[in-house]
């Protein structure tokens, strides 16, 4: 669920851009110090492309259809690079498909990037404690989704009291999507652990 242009107030948008740009700068700088960027750039880009294509798939629930966000999965697979990857994905989505908005790229980046980072840290922590990766994946996928929903609701409420009812509706609408994303993320994690476990950033630092 992205926010479109024209909904949020000026201070919320500016705050969104400020947090998004700051976090991106820190993450990219950290990545530059630890890795060879010439190798990281194509890698992250192609993975972002894969997630972009996956997020175009619509699942129909009853009369409506939802498209996947895969916030949690992005975090679990890409680690902290999920945040800049999300920025790139959202920019392309706003310009190529007119999903979401242009002025709201910053706030959307925060709204979906921060849950992705949390999902990554939780997955790593859980894995090091010896939890079952499939269950962890399901949980992180669901968590990523519902956190995005809660952030979205908070932003709507800070924008103005006209949005209070819509904000509650948004959180409720995220619940079915949360279940769907949880099942999908769990199944992806199980599959990847079986086929190519070195793909997940569990042993190495990202």
Partner 1 sequence: MEYPEIDAYASMDSPIHRFDPRAKIVSFTLLIFSFVFVNEIRIALLGFLFSFLILLISRLPLAFALKRIRMVFFFLFPLLLVMPLTVEGREVLNITGISVSFDGLIFASLIIIRALAAVTLALIMLATTRFDITIKALYALKVPGTLVQMLMFTYRYIFVITDEFSRMWESMECKGFRLKANYHGLSIFGNILGMIIIKSYDRTRRVYESMVAKGYSGKPNTLVHLHMSTKDYVLSTCMVGIAIFVHVYQLMFTV
**Residue 49 C-beta: closest distance to partner 1, Å:** 4
- What is the distance in angstroms between the CA of the first residue and the CA of the last residue of the chain? 27
CB closer to partner 1 out of 107 and 129: 107
Of 2, 11, 85, nearest to 45 by C-alpha is 85
**Residue 8 C-beta: closest distance to partner 1, Å:** 9
CB closer to partner 1 out of 67 and 121: 67
CB closer to partner 1 out of 55 and 147: 55
CB closer to partner 1 out of 96 and 130: 96
Q: Could you tell me whether strands 58-61 and 64-67 are parallel, antiparallel, or unpaired per DSSP bridges?
A: antiparallel
Contacts of residues 53-61 at CB distance under 8 Å and 24 or more positions apart, as own/partner, are 55/89, 55/93, 56/97, 59/180, 61/176, 61/180
Contact status, residue 186 vs residue 134, Cβ threshold 8 Å:
yes
**Residue 67 C-beta: closest distance to partner 1, Å:** 11
**Residue 162 C-beta: closest distance to partner 1, Å:** 5
CB closer to partner 1 out of 22 and 129: 22
Contact status, residue 192 vs residue 199, Cβ threshold 8 Å:
yes
Which residues lie across from 59 on neighbouring strands?
A: 66
**Interface contacts to partner 1, rule CB under 8 A:** 4-7, 10, 24, 28, 32, 36-39, 41-50, 52-54, 56-57, 59-61, 70, 73, 77, 84-85, 87-89, 91-92, 94-99, 101-103, 162, 164-166, 169, 176, 180, 183-192, 195-196, 199
CB closer to partner 1 out of 8 and 114: 8
**Residue 196 C-beta: closest distance to partner 1, Å:** 5
Dist. CA 100–CA 102, nearest whole Å: 7
**Residue 72 C-beta: closest distance to partner 1, Å:** 12
Other beta carbons less than 10 A from residue 45's beta carbon = 12
Dist. CA 87–CA 17, nearest whole Å: 11
């Amino acid at each position: 669920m992205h926010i479109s242009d024209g909904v949020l107030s000026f201070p919320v948008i500016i705050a969104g851009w400020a947090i998004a740009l700051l976090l991106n700068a820190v993450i990219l700088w950290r990545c530059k110090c630890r890795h060879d960027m010439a190798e990281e750039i194509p890698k992250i880009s192609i993975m972002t492309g894969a997630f972009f294509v996956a997020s175009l798939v619509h699942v129909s629930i009853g009369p409506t259809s939802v498209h996947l966000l895969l916030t949690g999965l992005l975090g679990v697979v890409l680690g902290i690079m999920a945040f800049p990857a999300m920025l790139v994905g959202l920019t392309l989505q706003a310009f190529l498909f007119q999903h979401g908005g242009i002025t709201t790229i910053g706030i959307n980046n925060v709204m979906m990037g921060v849950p992705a980072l949390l999902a990554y840290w939780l997955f790593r922590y859980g894995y090091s404690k010896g939890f079952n990766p499939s269950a962890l994946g399901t949980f992180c996928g669901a968590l990523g989704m519902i956190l995005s929903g809660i952030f979205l609701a908070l932003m709507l409420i800070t924008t103005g009291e006209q949005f209070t009812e819509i904000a509650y509706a948004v959180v409720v609408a995220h619940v079915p999507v949360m279940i769907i994303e949880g099942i999908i993320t769990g199944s992806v994690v199980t599959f990847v652990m079986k086929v190519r476990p070195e793909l997940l950033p569990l042993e190495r630092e990202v």
